[in-house]
């Protein structure tokens, strides 16, 4: 899969592929901000569970994938300068710097594999879509220049599946753990399910479904924008880092 991404042979979202492998959010910051960002992630572990960190200047994290090259293997990137999105390239080799530090953070695409194994219906996958994301009014714990609201991902589930999904996901804090909220989106500051963060994802509920919200790694993007870093790079929406780490057996 990484080779296909690297050579431009696969350009779609990664939620429907490599389902037995852990996927992660990507955040790349200059070394001057790396300690503060790691502190921010550790202060907000449900949203930002740390899976791997690179050495300064290295585009590799051997502990999560031997041949992973973070400059070419993600499929889509978002480049921010001074808090503004300036580019969405498919390759960041030309932007790479010797002081870059990359972080890979847990992603809900990984626990979706576990939910499927437990018989939870994920309608967005059936429709070839991804889960929608929303910015809440729940504050995160600040660290250095990093702060801001919690971002959540939403899945439309039946009441029975919501219970099952809560019990299963709670066992896996490395993939965001249990939901942070179920139902009544306005209680966490979400006024309109149609207005998702990034403008993508399945946002409509059927009569027998309720919205179930999990903490989301996109929280890091909001915090980085608020910090107005001179330069930072993240994955583009739903184009995740595909690692060699196996999804744990469902129990």
Residue 83 region by backbone torsions, left for phi larger than 0, else alpha for psi between -120 and 50, else beta: left
What is the homologous superfamily of the domain 2-107+224-246 according to CATH? PSTPO5379-like (3.40.1640.10)
Identify the pLDDT of residue 57: 97
Q: What is the DSSP string of the chain?
A: -HHHHHTTS--S-STTS-TTEEEEEEEEEEHHHHHHHHHHHHHSTTT--EEEEPPTT----TTT-TT--TTTSSS-EEEEETTEEEE--S--GGG--TTEEEEEEE-HHHHHHHHHHTT---HHHHTT--BEEEEEEEEPPPBTTB--EEEEEEEEE-HHHHHHHHHHHTT-GGGT-S-SEES-GGGGT---TTS-GGG-SB-PPPTT-EEEEEE-TTHHHHHHHHHT-S-EEEEPTT-PEEEEEEPPPP-
Domain ranges of the chain: 2-107+224-246, 108-219
Distance CA 212, CA 120 (A): 13
Identify the pLDDT of residue 109: 86
**Angle between helix 108-117 and helix 159-169 axes, rounded to 10 deg:** 120
For residues 15 and 22, the answer to whether their CB atoms sit within 8 Å is: no
Identify the pLDDT of residue 106: 94
The domain made up of 108-219 is a member of CATH 3.30.2040.10: yes
Identify the pLDDT of residue 180: 98
Identify the pLDDT of residue 17: 87
Identify the pLDDT of residue 13: 87
The CA-atom distances, in angstroms, between 228 and each of 85, 98, 153 are 11, 20, 24
In this prediction the pTM is 0.93
Residue ranges, the chain, pLDDT below 50 = none
**Angle of CA points 232, 44, 98, to nearest 5°:** 25
Identify the pLDDT of residue 100: 98
Sign of the torsion angle spanned by Cα atoms 93, 95, 97, 100: negative
Identify the pLDDT of residue 15: 84
| Average pLDDT of the chain to the nearest whole number | 94
**What SS3 class is residue 198?**
helix
* pLDDT tens-place string over residues 5-45: 999 999 988 888 888 899 999 999 999 999 999 999 999 99
Q: What is the separation of C-alpha 22 from the centre of its chain, rounded to a whole number of angstroms?
A: 12
């Amino acid at each position: 899969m990484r080779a296909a991404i690297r050579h431009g042979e696969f350009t779609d979202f990664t939620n429907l592929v490599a389902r037995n492998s852990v996927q992660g959010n990507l955040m790349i910051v200059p070394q001057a901000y790396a300690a503060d960002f790691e502190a921010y992630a550790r202060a907000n572990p449900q949203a930002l569970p740390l899976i791997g960190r690179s050495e300064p200047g290295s585009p590799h994290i051997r502990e999560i994938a031997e041949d992973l090259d973070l400059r070419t293997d993600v499929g889509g990137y978002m480049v921010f300068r001074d808090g503004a999105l300036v580019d969405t390239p498919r390759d960041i080799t030309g932007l790479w710097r010797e002081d870059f530090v990359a972080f890979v953070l847990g992603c809900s695409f990984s626990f979706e594999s576990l939910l499927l194994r437990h018989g939870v219906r994920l309608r967005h996958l059936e429709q070839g879509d991804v889960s929608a994301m929303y910015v809440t009014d729940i504050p995160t714990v600040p660290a250095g220049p990093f702060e801001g609201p919690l971002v959540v991902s939403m899945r439309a589930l039946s009441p029975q599946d919501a219970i099952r999904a809560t019990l299963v996901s709670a066992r896996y804090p490395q993939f965001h753990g249990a939901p942070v909220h179920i139902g009544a989106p306005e209680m966490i500051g979400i006024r309109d399910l149609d207005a998702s963060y990034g403008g993508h994802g399945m946002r409509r509920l059927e009569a027998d479904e309720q919205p179930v919200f999990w903490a989301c790694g996109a929280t890091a993007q909001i915090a980085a924008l608020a910090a107005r870093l001179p330069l930072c790079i993240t994955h583009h929406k739903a184009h995740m880092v595909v690692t060699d780490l196996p999804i744990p057996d469902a129990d």
